[in-house]
Every structure is written in C-alpha cells, then in structure tokens.
Structure 1
Amino acid sequence: MPESRKRRSVRAIVLDPGDRVLLCRHDLTALDGPVVWAMPGGGVEPGETDLRALRRELMEEIGLRLDGDPPLVWHQEVSGPGYAPGYDGVINRYHLVRVPAFVPNPAWSAERLAAEHIHGMRWWRLAEIAAGDGGELFSPRDLAGTLGALLAGGAPDEPVRLGL
C-alpha cells in the first residue's frame, strides 16, 4: 500500500503591537471552493528548512523581511482530498511573528499572487474574526478561539495541535 503524502507548509501569525493579525484572502471560487482568510505562508520546497521557507514566503506574499527565528506555536495536520492537489493532506506549522504595523508590499506582482489565489490582504482584530465575514471562512476554522488563546497566554512551550 502506498505511503500517505502530505504537503508541508509553514505559515506566520503576523501580529502588530495592537494584536491585529495580517491575513491573506484566498479566493478559491473558480475551483468550486470557498473564500478563505489565512495566514501568509506556503509550501516548503525539497531541501528547504521551515524557517528558510517562511522567510521566502513572507517576502513573496507580504513583503516582510523576517529577522530572527520566530517560535513555532501551532501544528496542524489535515488529511483528505481537496486540501492540496496531488497530496493526501497538509501539515501546517505556524510561527509567531511580532512586527510593527506596516502596509504589505509583496515582492510578487498582483498577477503572480492571483495565480496563487491570493486576492488581497488586511489586518484583522480578534473581535472582527469572531464576528465572521459573511460567507467567507477563516483558516484554521477556529481562528478566533486559537488566536484568542495565544493572545491571552503567549507563546506556548510546545506547539499547540490544531484541528481544521
């Protein structure tokens, strides 16, 4: 029986001094999917470390130059079709990145971001996430709860395992 393959990804919980989180809007409606607000980040390339991938992804998607080694705070594994084409699921590792507020200025063009289904980004307050945004989703699904716990308790000693 073939071994299960999951796509390895890294993501950043980018927080400003007011505890707003920067999320990217992924519009998957052309693929019969939803619109999902998610942390910036993406796939780890073969031979690439998580932190190197995180630095690359943050520069490409939001124009953030990452210094230092941000702590790993969340770990998520999701199995099933539809999470990553060509894979049996995904493994997302989330790092906490505290920064001054800034206006995102991606290294990638709007066309390149659109090819990755990224159509905008914005800073969100926890209360706005908890209130929802119509039919649009957040990732992870309980972002309000998990982010609220992180803000209340700080970075954990060991990564917190997340559900969907």
Structure 2
Amino acid sequence: MPPPRLRHSVRALILTADHQILLCRHLVTDPAGDAVWTAPGGGIEPGETRLDALRRELAEEVGLTLTGTPPHVWHRTTMTPDVLPGYDGIINDYYLVHTTRFTPHGTMTPAQLAAENIVDRRWWPLAELAAYPGPDLFGPRNLATHLTTLVTNGVPPQPLTLDR
C-alpha cells in the first residue's frame, strides 16, 4: 500500500494584545455553500522551510511581514480525503504571531484570493469567536477553546497536538 499523500501547511495565529485574531473565510466547494474561518497560511512549496512558507503566505494573504521566529504552538493532522482534493490528509503547523491590528491587504489580488476560495478576512475578538453560533465553521472546529487555553496558559514548551 502506498504511503498517504499529505499536504504540509503552515498557519499563523495572528493575535493582538487585546486577544483579537485575524482569520480568513474560505468557501467550501464540496459541499457547496459551507464556509470555514481559518488562520492565514497554506501549503509548503518544494524547497521551502516551514518558516519560509509562513513568511510567503502571510505576505500574500494578509500583507504581514514576518520578522523573527514565532513560536510553534500547535500541530494538527487531519486524515480524510475530503479535506483537500488530491490528498489523503493535511498537516497544519500553527505559529503564534503577536502584532498590532492592521488592515489585511496582501500581495494577492482579489481574483487570486478567490481562486484559493478566500472570500473575506476579519479580526475576531476571542469572546465573539467563543460565542459565535454559526452557520460558518472554524478550523480547527474548537479554535476558540484552543485559543483561550493558549492565551491563558501561554506558549507551551512543545507544540500541542490538536485532535479537531
């Protein structure tokens, strides 16, 4: 049996001092109509390090220039072929980036963002994220719980493995 085809990705938990997080809204194409709010980021290209990919993705999607090395706080593997066409699953590594609030405007054009199914970007206060009733989802599904733990306990000594 061949090894699973996994897409390796990086994501940034871009967080302000007053606990607002910048998220991107992705339209889901199958089933059509669903939407998921996720941390900015994306796939690691051949020859890139995780940090190089994170820098590129943040510049492209939200216009943030990443300096330094942010802490690696979460690791999540999702094994299901319906997450990303052509792959059996995805591995997301999350990094914590503290910043002041800014207006997201990356190097990608609106058409390029739409081609990646990104239709919106917005700042979410942690309390609003925790109280949001839907219909949109968050990736990971229990993002508010994990983020609250991170804000309350600080950066873990080792990246936490997320299950959902």
Q: TM-score, normalised by structure 2?
A: 0.96
Structure 1 residues 40-60: Cα deviation after superposition (integer angstroms, max 9, x where no partner): 000001111000000000000
Structure 1 residues 30-73: Cα deviation after superposition (integer angstroms, max 9, x where no partner): 43242000000000011110000000000000000000010100
* 1:141 matched residue in structure 2: 141
* 1:151 matched residue in structure 2: 151
Structure 1: tracts of 5 or more residues without a match: none
- SS of the counterpart of 2:13? strand
**Separation in structure 1 between the aligned mates of residue 35 and residue 4 of structure 2, nearest angstrom:** 27
Structure 1 residues 12-41: Cα deviation after superposition (integer angstroms, max 9, x where no partner): 00001211000001011x432420000000
Percent identity over the alignment? 50
* 1:16 matched residue in structure 2: 16
1:32 equivalent to 2:31? Answer yes
Matching of residues 62-141 of structure 1 within 5 Å: 62-141=62-141
- SS of the counterpart of 1:150? helix
> Which amino acid letter does the alignment assign opposite residue 138 of structure 1?
F
Larger strand percent: 2
**Separation in structure 1 between the aligned mates of residue 132 and residue 120 of structure 2, nearest angstrom:** 17
**Separation in structure 2 between the aligned mates of residue 99 and residue 117 of structure 1, nearest angstrom:** 25
> Which amino acid letter does the alignment assign opposite residue 54 of structure 1?
L
Q: Which moved more, 1:1-10 or 1:124-133?
A: 124-133
- SS of the counterpart of 2:46? coil
Structure 1 residues 72-120: Cα deviation after superposition (integer angstroms, max 9, x where no partner): 0000001011111111100000000001111111110111000000001
* 1:161 matched residue in structure 2: 161
Q: TM-score, normalised by structure 1?
A: 0.96
> Which amino acid letter does the alignment assign opposite residue 31 of structure 1?
D
* 1:51 matched residue in structure 2: 51
> Which amino acid letter does the alignment assign opposite residue 125 of structure 1?
P
Structure 2: tracts of 5 or more residues without a match: none
**Separation in structure 2 between the aligned mates of residue 130 and residue 160 of structure 1, nearest angstrom:** 20
**Separation in structure 2 between the aligned mates of residue 71 and residue 55 of structure 1, nearest angstrom:** 14
> Which amino acid letter does the alignment assign opposite residue 113 of structure 1?
L
**Separation in structure 2 between the aligned mates of residue 59 and residue 31 of structure 1, nearest angstrom:** 28
**Separation in structure 2 between the aligned mates of residue 21 and residue 60 of structure 1, nearest angstrom:** 18
- The CA RMSD over aligned residues, in Å, is 1.0
**Separation in structure 2 between the aligned mates of residue 144 and residue 158 of structure 1, nearest angstrom:** 20
